[in-house]
Amino acid sequence: MIKELGFTIVSYISLAVYWWIDDISIVGNVNPVNVQIGEDVILSCLERGCRFPNLQVHLYKWEGSENKTLYIYNSTKQMKVQESNSEEREKNETQQGCYINGLLEVTLLQVKPADAGQYVCALTCGKVYKEDTMEVIPGGNQYQDMSGSSTFLSFVLPYLLCLPFLALCLPKNIGQQQADNEELQKLRSEVEELRKLCTEEVGQWQTDKEVLRKLCSEEIEELRKLRSEVEELQKLCIEVQWRRACSNADSVTLDASSAHPNLSITVDKKSFTHEDHTQNLDNPQRFDRIVSVLGSEGFFSGNHYWTVDTGNSTAWDLGVAIRSIQRKGQISLLPIEGFWVLGRSGKDYWAKTDPWTRVTVQRKLSKIGVYLSFQEKEVAFFNIADMSVLFVFKDCSFTEEIFPFFKNTHKGTAMRICSIKEEKA
């Protein structure tokens, strides 16, 4: 009997020594210790000494057969709050949790009587399992089990013969507990500092955002003013261009010998009408396919301007052409063929570039000004109604004599070359 008792004492003393030198631990804490109904309470679990990659810290409320999880941290998975049923989902709406550098914290918001009870911090480190318990007593004193391993104590305590040795270990365990609490408080202070810093950074960011928004609003307003000024300057430039063009106005007349057989020319050679019947007036200078006519006078140099009233025609082309253009057969009115013209087809207006360029207008064009400049190598078209520029051909290659060009394919309509007096009227 004595031998068996001695063997038992030696065995449990060895177990106690192993537990003492093992530095893997989990410590639970309740703050504040004395919590009142309606207050917030922080439950924390501080793990120390675990060096295994597979670490799990589990905080749950002990309720016998059905424990309720508050928070699980698993190093191999994302941290999460378990919500296995509607009751736990409702619970999570009254708690906040996080895990940072070995410290797991869960805040119970507005503690209720139902929150009273024992809570367990369970640590799984590799194949080592340890746990610590703490108790929340709303409105009363709180008790926390500081043994470090409840399962071990429940096994050792019945053996009273181990008490002397455990008494020797107790000062070290108490010192370790105090050190753990100090570490826990230190980590909590660091978390609070981080929260304050984040709050300050967010506040500064919001202030900076408001300043930037104000600056952007001021810049946008300044840009609007500049745009308005630019538009005014553009209008002035267009008016200057138009007045300069008008100062170079020519008394343009039509060359009847070049007119298509369906065009009838007035005696003053200022107007032409697209007739239904064809005149037998063919000669080498006459257009035979496109219903067109040239001006009677050509230009070699200088700047020239004239205005055309298109009347009711919805199919016309105006501009300039070189003397050597093709006059027989179908013709493409493109710069490469010696034409620089603006035209209308139904409701659409086109500059006859290659390919054509659509010209946008606010209302139907009636009177169009044509400006030819040898010096600037350009042909410009103006809307006389608002003195706006419709289109400009730039970098034109004028290598020979240039003539005004007119085309009207709308039967029964007339077009007319205006005088400067008519234009201003």
75 falls within a domain? yes
Q: Is the pLDDT of residue 318 over 50?
A: yes
Instruction: Give the pLDDT confidence score for residue 422 in this predicted structure.
Output: 57
Give the chain's domain count: 2
Bridge partners, residue 28, by sequence: 45
Q: Looking at the structure, tell me whether residues 151 and 293 fall in a common domain.
A: no
Angstrom distance (rounded) from CA 389 to CA 393: 11
182 falls within a domain? no
**Residues 247-302 pLDDT 10s:** 778 889 999 999 999 999 999 999 999 998 877 776 888 998 999 999 999 999 99
Q: Could you list the residue range(s) of the whole structural domain that residue 388 is in?
A: 256-424
Q: Which residue has the tokens 């301007």?
A: 305
The chain-wide mean pLDDT, for the chain, equals 82
12 falls within a domain? no
Q: Looking at the structure, tell me whether residues 140 and 267 fall in a common domain.
A: no
Instruction: Give the pLDDT confidence score for residue 247 in this predicted structure.
Output: 75
Most trustworthy range by pLDDT among 36-45, 46-55, 168-177 = 36-45
392 falls within a domain? yes
39 falls within a domain? yes
Instruction: Give the pLDDT confidence score for residue 381 in this predicted structure.
Output: 96
- Torsion angle defined by CA atoms of residues 98, 103, 104 and 108, in that order, rounded to the nearest 10 degrees: -80
Strand 117-125, strand 128-136: pairing? antiparallel
Question: How far from chain centre, in Å, is Cα 26?
Answer: 48
- DSSP summary character for residue 36: P
Strand 95-100, strand 68-74: pairing? unpaired
212 falls within a domain? no
Residue 10's identity, in one-letter code, is V
Angstrom distance (rounded) from CA 106 to CA 38: 16
Residue 254's identity, in one-letter code, is L
- Say which CATH number the domain at 65 has: 2.60.40.10
**Residues 142-195 pLDDT 10s:** 444 444 444 444 444 454 455 555 555 555 555 666 777 788 888 888 888 888
CA angle 180, 181, 182 (to 5 degrees): 90
Residue 165, helix vs strand vs coil: helix
Q: Which residue has the tokens 């006078």?
A: 297
Q: Looking at the structure, tell me whether residues 399 and 277 fall in a common domain.
A: yes
Instruction: Give the pLDDT confidence score for residue 45 in this predicted structure.
Output: 95
CA angle 361, 366, 368 (to 5 degrees): 80
The answer to whether 64 and 40 have CB atoms below 8 angstroms apart is: no
- Say which CATH number the domain at 272 has: 2.60.120.920
Q: Is the pLDDT of residue 30 over 60?
A: yes
The answer to whether 402 and 298 have CB atoms below 8 angstroms apart is: yes
60 falls within a domain? yes
Distances in Å between the Cα of 216 and the Cα atoms of 204, 206, 209, 221, 224 are 18, 15, 10, 9, 12
Tokens of 90: 């409702």
Q: Looking at the structure, tell me whether residues 139 and 287 fall in a common domain.
A: no
Q: Looking at the structure, tell me whether residues 277 and 415 fall in a common domain.
A: yes
CA-CA-CA-CA torsion sign (278, 284, 285, 289): positive
Instruction: Give the pLDDT confidence score for residue 249 in this predicted structure.
Output: 81
Q: Looking at the structure, tell me whether residues 135 and 277 fall in a common domain.
A: no
Domain boundary residue among 135, 158, 181?
158
Q: Looking at the structure, tell me whether residues 146 and 288 fall in a common domain.
A: no
Angstrom distance (rounded) from CA 403 to CA 321: 5
Instruction: Give the pLDDT confidence score for residue 4 in this predicted structure.
Output: 53
Angstrom distance (rounded) from CA 381 to CA 370: 5
**More reliable by pLDDT, 378 or 231:** 378
Question: How far from chain centre, in Å, is Cα 365?
Answer: 42
Angstrom distance (rounded) from CA 112 to CA 134: 17
Angstrom distance (rounded) from CA 405 to CA 319: 5
Q: Looking at the structure, tell me whether residues 282 and 419 fall in a common domain.
A: yes
Instruction: Give the pLDDT confidence score for residue 155 in this predicted structure.
Output: 47
Q: Looking at the structure, tell me whether residues 260 and 144 fall in a common domain.
A: no
CA-CA-CA-CA torsion sign (398, 399, 401, 403): negative
Q: Looking at the structure, tell me whether residues 414 and 270 fall in a common domain.
A: yes
Angstrom distance (rounded) from CA 255 to CA 247: 24
Angstrom distance (rounded) from CA 41 to CA 62: 17
Instruction: Give the pLDDT confidence score for residue 141 in this predicted structure.
Output: 45
- Torsion angle defined by CA atoms of residues 80, 83, 88 and 90, in that order, rounded to the nearest 10 degrees: 90
Q: What is the mean pLDDT of residues 349-359?
A: 96
Q: Looking at the structure, tell me whether residues 269 and 400 fall in a common domain.
A: yes
Q: Looking at the structure, tell me whether residues 136 and 283 fall in a common domain.
A: no
239 falls within a domain? no
Domain boundary residue among 125, 158, 191?
158
Q: Is the pLDDT of residue 26 over 60?
A: yes
**More reliable by pLDDT, 350 or 102:** 350
Helix axes 163-246, 2-21, angle to 10 degrees: 20
Domain boundary residue among 158, 193, 220?
158
Helix, strand, coil share (%) of the chain residues, nearest 5: 30, 30, 35
Q: Where are the beta strands (DSSP E) in 205-294?
A: 263-265, 271-274, 292-294
Tokens of 51: 């060096």
**Residues 85-128 pLDDT 10s:** 445 444 445 567 888 888 999 999 999 998 999 999 999 998 88
